Each structure stands twice: as structure tokens, then as C-alpha cells.
Structure 1
Amino acid sequence: MKRTIIATGLALLVNAFTYAQESDSLAMAGDYQGMTADADTVQVKKERKKIDGVAAVVGDFVILESDIEKQYIDMELQGVDVNSISRCEVLGNQMENKLYTHQAIQDSVVVEDGEVYSYVDNQMSQLTGQLGSMEKVLKFYNKDSEKDLRDELFEIIKNAQLSMRMQGKVVEEVEITPEEVREWYDALPEDDRPYFGDEVEIAQIVKQPEPSEAEVQKVIDRLKNIKRDVEENGSSFAIKQTLYSEDPGKVQNGGVYSIKKSSPFVQEFKDVAFSLKPGQISKPFKTQFGYHIIYLEKVRGQERDVRHILLIPEVSDEDLREAREELEKIREKIIQGEFTFEQAAQNFSDQKETKFDGGVLRNPQDMSTRFELTKMDPVLYSQVSPLEGNTISMPILGETETGGSYYKIIKVNQRFKAHQADYIQDYVKIKELALKEKQLNQIKEWMDEKIKDTYISISPSYQGCNFSNNWLKK
């Protein structure tokens, strides 16, 4: 799999944004696993040869034989056994995506060009970093110019975003009641009920030392000096950003962020960005990530193109040592019975997201308190696996997303053996499964309705396919 990181075609350039829906691109294996199955009723050959011609038309979108072939190549590069996937399945998947995109345009679903350009910039930066130079990137993708590659990427990402948003729109109002969950569960034959692997509930207490006032002032003064140098001496903010910013995202999008008031940036950042005029640099300000200055590069309607420099005050080794020693004392008092782990988390933990729940972690997949061991983050798994019974770990050094350091102690509150689904014990997971099925039924109804009202033409070569959707309008 590692060898395919960059060698999987243009569609994989947008993998980080889950743009696999766009069938002009080369589909990804992960998306293929979620595809509705179309079984062949005729033998459709899958020769590995250069072919072209129209396989199908959906609305205003044409699907070429070469699009299908590209998808096969893409899957092969990822190690997928394509012998078990028919051309009918590939075409069915691509027609679904084209129908979503076609209907998104009909329904005036909006995808801002600025947002797409940002993603294109991000992909170009990643490719250049992986392959070494733009010249090598163009050669790899057989493009004459950077503009040609950017234009193709733009169309891939734009259409895929339209498809994704249309899918979201179809199911956005689908909800499920407890009664429906119960009915769904009761209707499952006992042998067909899902099976869940070994799970654990984990709690932690975190001590994250704050930087000293002197260190904070040092960072603020440094940002002021950078601002002054740009304003008074004409220095390049972009170069300063490249040299000094501690934001990991500075290598993406050429260091430019395109933001709207609805963008998922912290509120303090957006407030400052929208208070500036083009060419203006903010005063240093604080967010949960550190201290920033923002340069407003351009205003485009409701969007702002900004650069920023992030500096993170350092925490001294002495402060970290004190945090570790404090956790050691807390751990010892829990073991001696002076208070429970839950009480200690509520009173002493610095992690506000977990402290009021007694330090209990939430699984980001379903927001439950359970983590299936086989699906757990490898780092967390390595920390949890040695713990037996009510054992509390020794202080563990960790690092925040922004590079800050902290110590934590962890404990396994409960262990759940691998088991067949139980309605009470596994309600959250069962509810998710029932909701997904209800959403799939909604999508099926939507597909049936839109197929009737949309121009669709399918090549005679695929007329014998047994599609899961009524593409042939029989």
C-alpha cells in the first residue's frame, strides 16, 4: 500500500477530502467498499487495454469507457482484487455519482470556487513535496503545464463536492426514533445481529503546564517585531510566515487560508480576520493554539484570503517535571483511596473536554464511551494494552496538535468482551446501524425518483447488467 501513496491517479489527489464520488477521477478502494452491488447477468470483459467510447450518459454528464478503465487501474494500484468487481459495478457507481452531481446543479447547490481553489492548492503543494518538483509532477501526470493540471483538479474536486453535498442533502432530515431502533433490532434474525469486538472505556487525568509570563511576552514581542518589519521595511509577510510560523498547515495552500464567517476556524481567529482591511496586519492575539498575527491578503465577496504567523510559547522542562510529579502524587492518593479517579479528574485535570465526565474519553467515531481495541488509535492502544484490572498508568508524556507537551495518567474503567449485539448494552451502535439503513432506504427512494426524471443513456455493452438502481428504466 505504501508504494501507492502518490501513484494512484488524479482522483487520489483529493483523498484527504473524500472526493472519491467524482467519477472523472480514479476511484478509491475505500469508496468502492461502500458501493451498492451490481451483479452481472452477462459477461462483460475487463481487458487491460486502452479503450474509449461512451459507456453512459447521465443528465449532462458523459461517462467514458476510459473512466471505467481508470477506476480499475486505480484500484489495482491500491491492491484491490479487481477480478471480483465487474464493469457493471463500476459503471453503476459512476452513474450514481453523476446523478448526484447533475441534481446538485439542478437544485443550485453551492460550492464556492474559492474553497475548491484552496483544496487544489493543497493538493499541488502535497504533490510537489512528494515528487520533488513541479516538473516531476507534470511528467508523472502527463500534463503540459501546471495550469492544465490545476484545471483538471478543479473540475474533479468541484464535481465531487457537488456530489457529496447532494448526498448529504438527501439524508440531512432523516432521523430515527427509539421505537424505530427497537423495531429494526427485533426484526433482525438472531444469527444476523452484528458482532462487536473487545471494547474498553478509558478515563484520563491531564496536567498541561502553562508557559511562564516571560515566555508569553517573548512570543508577543517577537510577533510585534515581525509586524513592524513588514510594515516599516517592506519585508515579505509570506517569507516571514514560511520561516517562523509554527502552524503545520503553512505548507498547504501556499500558506493562504480562504475563510468565511461559517468556516470551522476558532472564533477569535475569524473575528480578527474580518476586522482587517486588505494589506493590514493585526496586533498579536491569543487562541487556544498559541499567539498569532494575521495579514489580510484579499477580499473576495464573503471570503477573506489570509496569511497568519503562529508562535507557541515554550513550556520549560521544569514546568513539565512539576506536572509529572503532581500526577504521580494524584495517582498515589487514588491508589490509597483518598479519592476516586473520577473525583480526581473532576478536581485536578486540565482537560476541560473530559474532566467533568470524570476523565472519560469519547470515541470520535460515534461519541460513545467505548473503544473497540482493533479499531483504536495505535498510540492509545499501546498505552492501554498493558493495563490490567484497575491499574492506573504512570504519567505518560503526550503532545498536543499544536506541539505543546503535557502529562497524563490513564485507567481502563470497564472492559467489554467480544459479543453479539445486545440492545441495552450496545444501543448507541445499534442506533447508528439502524439510522444508516434508514438513510440508505431514503437514498434508494430518491434515486428511483430522479432516475425517472433524468435523461439516461447506456451503451448496448451494458444493457445486460443487473444494476441495483433502475438505470435501464425497465
Structure 2
Amino acid sequence: MFFGTIDAQEIIPDEEEVKQVKDSIVNSTRIKADGVAAVVGDFIVLESDLDREIAQLEAQGADLSGVTRCELFGSLLEKKLYAHQAIQDSIIVNELYIKSLVDQQIQGILAQTRGDMEGLLNFYKKDSEQALRDEMYEINKNGYLAQEMQKKVIDGVEVTPEEVRTFFNEIPEDERPTFGTELKVAQIVVIPEVTEEAKQAVIERLKGFKRDIEENGSKFATKALFYSEDSGSKNNGGLLPTMNRKQPRMVKEFREVAFSLQEGEISDPFETDFGFHIIYLEKIRGQEYDVRHILLRPELSEEAIQKAKDKIDKVRDLIVSGKVSFADAAREFSDEEETKYEGGRLTNPTTQDFNFELTKMDTEMYTQIQGLKDGEVSEVIQDEDRINNIKFKIMTVTDRIDDHEADFARDYLKIKELALQDKQVRAIEKWQKEVIADTYIKINGKYRDCDYQSNWLKVE
């Protein structure tokens, strides 16, 4: 993922420089020479910023044929406004996270360009890798600020059932959305059991990592890079997104250990559903914690794997022979706690109901159930997830709903989501209108002729 999608930005670091830029806007000749296209609060937008944004989007294969330069420029102005207001609201940036993100981005780009650092520097018109890193840091930092500010604007926006009904009733009948073919899908999962010996072996290995770090000066980040089985954090040396005591969704055991540590301390090994961990608390900033971890999973024996395979084969035979229903078999035999008590039915994470729209279905799931007739049971599928390296499952389609016009009762959750999105858009529009009015904004030259959705020109 190219870092330029966030947008290139230059920060004016102090009030004197802000004054100098604002003064320069009065002189149109100087503006053209400087290439300053706009000023938004403490940020400037250069002509080259927009050129770089377009180049990055095209490099990623984006189709810009129907997008005007004015629309892209308006998008840059919005990002600057969010970042500016985030600074005013003292939104905190996790510097370690941003630096690790820069490392990932540089390595990712170099992997695509076969290690051509010189070409990368030429593309971004930088004379050194450090200069490039400094600019990427500012880009990511301000992109992060913009994203956090937008989250803050819509945080807490909710819709009542009456608002959902009003939203639906105000849609003309001939303009109501059509939902595609939907399936209800169920599965039964059998997971191989881990032996106590395998668990103890992992615990001892983690204890060894801890001793090597504390007694021999080894680096926690290096251990995580080489040994952690958490693919999402290992390339960052085990660094996780900033943790906050107010975060509602966090693995209970992980939360308790992390918040019991002192800065610079490493935990003893402990278990979660994901495996066994040790945690290093790197830094505490008020309510925010910078944490690294190493995850190891116990090895599965061939005997345990075969036992699980034999079990699900027998369960499938019972269902196919008609001796037990799929739902009853799920309640009796499935190891997946999230679905077994619902007869194996899967919940759509987007809509929170049991329906999966065929055209929006996860590719992996679609591959596993394509071709199944209603009520037919799939062959045994070997799979894996974030918690289990190996699991076996069988799947079935329990119901099918053909393409249909939105129905308030049947499609309530989908309509609620549309109503919420509409309300969030209106909240953002209201916020933008108020903040634009209170922020120093100046648009230069040809960009004054653009027809913006927001009042960037502050026309009364």
C-alpha cells in the first residue's frame, strides 16, 4: 500500500511562518512562484501535492476517468481540515506506530521495485533515504490525525428505530434499494485437541525468550520478528496498535496482563484463545500503552489431527444418512462456540443477521459453498483461522432468498445501516460547515473556479 494515498503534506511549524504564508497569499505573483494552491489552518497545499496524489492513485490502478482535478483537490482540502482540527483537539499520535508503518511502506515499495531505492528517491524527488522517511512520517502522521478526527466526528452517532422507519418511508418506492440473492449458511467445526505436553513446551520456550532478553540483552522486537506467530505484528517487532484502558473490545486475558505491567517490564507466559503470549510494555502515555508481544501456538500431533478428521467424517455420515439434522449435530458436536448454539448458522459481520448477499460474500466462503444445493452437506474442508492452524468443517446452505426490493421488516438491519450512514454523512457535513467557518482558509488561482460541495471559498 503506497503511503501517498493519505496525501502529501507540509506543516508550517510556528506562528511566524504561518503569518509569512498568509501574507504571501495577498501577492498572486509570489503564490504562483511558490506553487501554493491553498492554505487550510496551519497547513499548506502545494500544486505538487495534488500531482503526487494523482500519480499514486494511478499507480495503484485507480480509475480516475470520471473524477475531476477539482474533486481531488477538494478531497485534499478535507484531509487538511481534519488534520488541522485534530491538532487543535490534541489528538495524540502513536509515534512508534507511525515509524513502524513507514518501515513497512518502504519495504513494501522496495519489494515491488526490486530494491530500487534510487528510483524511489527520484520518484519522490528526495536526495536521501532519511529525507524520504521524514516526509513519509509527516504524511502518515497527518493521515492518522485526519482519520482519528473523522472517527471522533461520527463517534456516538446512532439511529433510533423511528429514524430508521422515517428514512425508509422517505425513499420513493421506485428508488428503494434492491438486495441481491442472499444465503443462510451453517457449519460444523471440529478442532484437534492440544496436549498438555505441547502447551508446556511453548511456555518453556517463551520463558527462554524472556530470560535471554532480561539477562543477555537480546531485543524483544528481534525475537518477535523471528519467532512470533502473529502475522499481523511480527514484521513490526511485535508492536500492536496503541492500547487504551477505555477500549471495549480486547481479549480479556491480554488486557489484564498488559495493564498490570510497569513500563519496560516483560510478562510471564499466559494463554488466550490465540495461543500463548509474552508481553513487553514499551511505553505508557496517560491512558495509552505501547505494547509488543510474541505469540506461539502449541504444535498439534498427527494423532490429534487424525482423531478430529475421523470425528467430523462420522458427523457428516450421520447427517447425510438422515439420522440427525445439521442443526442438532452442530449443537452436539461442533467446537465453534460462536455458532453451535445457533445450529451452526453463521452471522454476517457486516449486517449482524444470518443473511449473506451472494455478490458481497467473502471469496473464501463463496468458494467453499458454491455449487451446494439447499440442504446439501459439503465434503469435509480442512481450514485454518487466526486461532487454529488446523480445523475441519462441513457446511450447508439452509435457506436462499432471491433478488428482491428492500422490505422494511425482512431487511431491517440493512436499512438501519443505510440510515446510520446517511446520518453520519449529515453529521460530517454539519461539522465541516462549522469548522470551515472558524478556520483560516485561502484558495489560490484556478482552484477558486472549482465548484466545491463544501464552502471552501467562504461565499456568503
Q: What is the TM-score normalised by the length of structure 2?
A: 0.84
Residue 77 of structure 2 corresponds to which residue in structure 1?
Answer: 95
Counterpart of 2:131 in structure 1 is 148
- Closer, same or farther in 2 for the Cα pair 1:73/1:295, shift >3 Å? closer
Q: How does 1:6-405 map to 2 (within 5 A)?
A: 8=2, 10-12=3-5, 20=6, 22=7, 24=9, 53-127=35-109, 129-131=111-113, 133=115, 135=117, 138=121, 141-232=124-215, 237-257=220-240, 259-262=242-245, 266-277=251-262, 280-296=265-281, 305-402=290-387, 404-405=389-390
* Maintained 8 Å contact 2:42/2:84: yes
Which residue of 2 is the match for residue 39 of structure 1?
Answer: none
| Percent identity for Structure 1 against Structure 2 | 49
- Aligned-partner SS, 1:463: helix
Which secondary structure does the structure 1 equivalent of 2:299 belong to?
coil
Which residue number in structure 1 is paired with residue 437 of structure 2? 452
1:116-171 CA distances to partner (integer Å, 9 max, x unpaired)? 33433443454455555584555664433343223222211221222222222222
CA contact (8 A) 1:258 1:304 kept: no
Q: Distance in 2 between matches of 1:236 and 1:72?
A: 41
Q: Shift of residue 387 of structure 1?
A: 0.8
Displacement of 1:246 = 2.3
Is 1:438 the counterpart of 2:420? The answer is: no
Look up the SS of the partner of 2:298 in the other structure.
coil
SS of equivalent to 1:431: helix
What is the letter of the counterpart of residue 54 of structure 2? Y
Q: Is the 8 A contact 1:246 1:311 kept in 2?
A: yes
Q: Deviations over 1:77-105 (max 9, x none)?
A: 23334342222111211112222222222
Match for 1:379: what amino acid? Answer: E
Mapped to 2, the partners of 1:419 and 1:252 lie a distance apart of: 45
Q: Is the 8 A contact 2:186 2:345 kept in 1?
A: yes
* Whole-Å separation in 2 of the counterparts to 1:426 and 1:205: 27
Name the amino acid aligned to 2:206. Answer: L
| Contact 1:23-1:98 at 8 Å conserved across structures | no
How far off its partner does 1:409 sit? Answer: 1.0
**How far apart, CA to CA, are the structure 1 residues paired with 2:265 and 2:159?**
49
1:82–1:56 CA distance, 2 compared to 1 (3 A): same
| Alpha-carbon RMSD | 2.9
Q: Following TM superposition, by how much is the alpha carbon of 1:390 offset from its aligned partner in structure 2, in angstroms?
A: 0.6
- Which deviates more, 111-120 or 349-358? 111-120
Deviation of residue 418 (structure 1)?
A: 1.6
1:416 matched to 2:440: no
- The corresponding residue for 2:29 is none
More displaced stretch, 262-271 vs 435-444: 262-271
Structure-2 change in CA distance of 1:250 and 1:177 (3 Å)? closer
- Structure 1 window deviating more from structure 2 (304-313 vs 149-158): it is 304-313
Partner residue of 1:32?
A: none
Deviates more, 1:355-364 or 1:225-234: 225-234
1:428 aligns with 2:421: no
Aligned length: 435
Q: What CA deviation, in whole Å up to 9, does each residue of 1:183-222 have, x standing for no partner? A: 2222222221112222111111111112112222222233
- The match for 2:13 is none
Q: Distance in 2 between matches of 1:75 and 1:153?
A: 16
CA contact (8 A) 2:225 2:235 kept: no
Q: Distance in 2 between matches of 1:362 and 1:113?
A: 37
**SS where residue 199 of structure 2 aligns?**
helix
* 1:175/1:291 CA distance change after superposition, 3 Å: closer
Separation (CA, whole Å) in 1 of partners of 2:449 and 2:233: 51
Q: Which runs of 5+ in 2 are unaligned?
A: 11-31
In structure 2, the partner of 1:40 is none
CA contact (8 A) 1:290 1:313 kept: yes
Instruction: Measure, in 2, the Cα distance between the counterparts of 1:372 and 1:363.
Output: 9
Deviation readout 1:17-45 (Å, 9 max, x if unpaired): xxx3x4639xxxxxxxxxxxxxxxxxxxx
State the alpha-carbon separation in 2 of the partners of residues 178 and 152 from structure 1: 47
Amino acid in the other structure paired with 1:208:
I
1:223–1:94 distance in 2 versus 1, CA, 3 Å: closer
- Give the letter aligned to residue 327 of structure 1: I
Normalising by structure 1, we get a TM-score of: 0.82
Contact 1:125 1:252 in 2 (8 A): no
Gaps of 5+ in 1: 13-19, 26-49
One-letter amino acid of the structure 1 residue matched with residue 235 of structure 2 = Q
Summarize the Cα distance change of 1:407–1:444 in structure 2 as closer, same or farther, 3 Å threshold.
Answer: same
Distance change (3 Å), C-alpha of 1:450 and 1:57: same
- In the other structure, the counterpart of 1:469 is 454
Name the CA distance, whole Å, in 1 between partners of 2:323 and 2:239. Answer: 52
SS at match of 2:437: helix
CA spacing shift, 1:455–1:84, aligned 2, 3 Å: same
Q: Distance in 2 between matches of 1:79 and 1:388?
A: 37
Deviates more, 1:385-394 or 1:334-343: 334-343
Note if contact 1:451-1:470 (Cα within 8 Å) is conserved in structure 2.
Answer: yes
CA contact (8 A) 1:176 1:435 kept: yes
Deviation larger for 210-219 or 78-87: 78-87
The C-alpha deviation readout for 1:347-377, integer Å capped at 9, x for no partner, is 3211112222222212222322221222222
